[in-house]
């Protein structure tokens, strides 16, 4: 079973024929919203808006453990996540779509593991390659099939938020090797790995990060949203194709 986790700009899937909604309770609390079961291109998927129905939950307050646990309880084996980012690399301007292959985690104070020694024994998962290569390929192939150009590699810097970064912080992330910056990539990816769920993310670039491109002194939120709305139309096409190509029913 494939699940789609939608981020900023993707609180619903227009092309999803909804069958039912399910309130799921987990040992870690409730997920961001009831799980939405539906079909795209005749294939069943589960959709979950990471920030809740009305985009009311900020990145650092998302109950990532409940979200991933709820999907796992429903038999989800693959999670295709959408995470909006700012472009750090000069080539990654607004409207680009990136499929990252690596993560650097700068978040703090989040519940980052199911193996906390309380509910589950301590366990150290391998996280050398944080994203499932097979699912990354599926994202890429879906994009190619609908004629969308994607950047098939990138290093995702996960920051705490909800504020945007300073120009100096972005310089630091760049020195560390990051090419895009977002606030929700972790601990989501690691939690999926802990439960043995294939996980990969696609990142629409909404704007240049602080101190980059036109944002030398300020990032204008209105511009970010209008850029994002245009890019999300393309992302939805890729999602529809991904679901169609996916062998799971």
Question: From the annotation, which residues make up the binding site for phosphate?
Answer: 8, 50-51, 184
DSSP secondary structure letters along 122-187: ------SS-S-HHHHHHHHHHHHHTT---B---EEEE---SSPPPHHHHHHHHHHT-SEEESSSTT
Q: Which residues pair with 181 in a beta bridge?
A: 86, 157
* Paired sense of beta strands 85-87 and 180-182, if any: antiparallel
Burial class (CB in 10 A: 0-12, 13-18, 19+), 172: middle
Report the sign of the C-alpha dihedral through residues 110, 161, 181, 146, in that order.
Answer: positive
C-alpha 246/C-alpha 142 separation (Å) is: 9
Tokens of residue 213, six digits = 């491109």
Q: Tokens for 56, please give them.
A: 């009311």
Binding residues for substrate: 183, 207-209
The first and second tokens of residue 108, run together, are 């703090």
Taking residue 101's Cβ as centre, other Cβ atoms within 10 Å add up to 16
**In the chain, how long is the greatest CA-to-CA distance?**
48
Instruction: Detail the residues annotated as belonging to a binding site.
Output: 8, 50-51, 183-184, 207-209
Query: What gap in Å lies between CA 214 and CA 70, rounded to an integer?
Result: 40
């Amino acid at each position: 079973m494939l699940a789609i986790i939608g981020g900023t700009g993707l609180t619903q899937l227009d092309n999803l024929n909804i069958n039912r909604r399910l309130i799921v309770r987990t040992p870690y609390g409730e997920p961001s919203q009831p799980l939405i079961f539906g079909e795209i291109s005749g294939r069943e998927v589960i959709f979950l808006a990471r920030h809740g129905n009305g985009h009311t939950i900020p990145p650092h307050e998302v109950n990532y453990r409940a979200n991933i646990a709820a999907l796992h309880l429903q038999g989800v084996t693959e999670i295709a996540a959408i995470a909006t980012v700012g472009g750090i690399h000069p080539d990654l301007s607004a409207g680009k779509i990136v499929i990252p292959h690596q993560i650097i985690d700068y978040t703090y104070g989040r519940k980052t593991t199911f193996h906390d020694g309380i509910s589950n024994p301590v366990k150290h998962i391998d996280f050398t390659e944080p994203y499932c290569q097979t699912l990354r390929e599926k994202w890429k192939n879906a994009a190619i099939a609908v004629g969308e150009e994607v950047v098939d590699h990138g290093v995702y810097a996960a920051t705490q938020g909800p504020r945007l970064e300073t120009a100096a912080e972005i310089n630091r992330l760049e020195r560390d090797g990051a090419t895009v910056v977002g606030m929700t990539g972790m601990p989501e990816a690691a939690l999926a790995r802990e439960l043995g769920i294939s996980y990969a993310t696609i990142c629409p670039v909404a704007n240049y990060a602080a101190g980059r491109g036109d944002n030398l002194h300020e990032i204008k939120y209105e511009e970010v949203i209008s850029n994002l709305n245009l890019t999300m139309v393309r992302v939805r096409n890729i999602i529809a194709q991904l679901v169609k190509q996916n062998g799971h029913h």
